[in-house]
Amino acid sequence: FVGNSTYLDDHGPPPQKVLPFPSQVVYNRVGKCGSRTVVLLLRILSEKHGFNLVTSDIHNKTRLTKNEQMELIKNISTAEQPYLFTRHVHFLNFSRFGGDQPVYINIIRDPVNRFLSNYFFRRFGDWRGEQNHMIRTPSMRQEERYLDINVCILENYPECSNPRLFYIIPYFCGQHPRCREPGEWALERAKLNVNENFLLVGILEELEDVLLLLERFLPHYFKDVLSIYKNPEHRKLGNLTVTVKKTVPSPEAIQILYQRMRYEYEFYYYVKEQFHLLKRKFGLKSRIRKPRPRPEFFIPSPLETEEPIDDEEEDDEKWLEDIYKR
């Protein structure tokens, strides 16, 4: 108090915090698609730019009941803005529960490469684990750990056939039970959500361009992200995360995987095409490779894609546990 007047009388109300637009961003990250690499960058960026990075310790629950969806949406919506929320979770429709729909971002990867990365990572970890003589999945029996990838695919082991291979689409399709069924319905719904709710879905094979576009679209969150990513100290950390003991399956095994993943590839090609259109719009060139005819589809070496540092896998892993305990 100054005399009979208050601070507000003399100065008016304190200035309100001016929020950037958008002030609510959700990165519902897909496992083994560079997500930990991006989260490491976000930790640095949140301190640098002063946004609220909201992460989750839950890594094994991607599908939620209606009540769990309501609870999570309520918790996210009440976070201090501007916020960026990140968690391994299938797409959540905020507006269905009366909330403001945030802006979504995500990154996906060639489905076979994602599968191979996960297959060997579960068995042998990465260089961080090798140095400590640690094995990634202790409960796995030795014959399972050293199961040849070609045998797994060609002899229809559960790990190398559905539902394990239908993995990326549900992150974009959402929480509806049909989102877990490989088919046109889930595929089309995933595409629709990409168009209507995602500001950007990038591809890991072109991560630097993904970061460039994120910096352009969401400067309050991603300004300077590329220079941080290219910093030698950060690159050194990334080199510790290359999955070890990777081998490339035979062309025959790849063909079978490709057939089993045909919906995943329809989605991947769709996202890649949209991403390249966006790049052209903003003057970024793509390294054009002549597309391979799809029936003779083959992948580049998995080692061409820099390995992300990744969290525990999602509950898609849980169905495998009993197999390894037999």
The total of other beta-carbon atoms located within 10 Å of residue 318's CB is 11
Q: How far is CA 178 from the centre of its chain?
A: 21
Report the amino acid identity of residue 173.
Answer: C
Helix boundaries (H) for 132-261: 142-145, 149-154, 170-173, 184-197, 207-217, 219-222, 225-230, 232-239, 251-260
CA distance 52 to 45: 10
Catalytic annotation, pick one of 88, 90, 220, 276: 88
CA distance 284 to 57: 36
Name the 3-class secondary structure at 291.
Answer: coil
C-alpha to C-alpha distances, 250 to 28, 151, 157, 274, nearest whole angstrom:
33, 10, 16, 30
C-alpha to C-alpha distances, 227 to 95, 186, 238, nearest whole angstrom:
36, 37, 15
The answer to whether 88 is a known catalytic residue is yes
Report the catalytic residues.
88
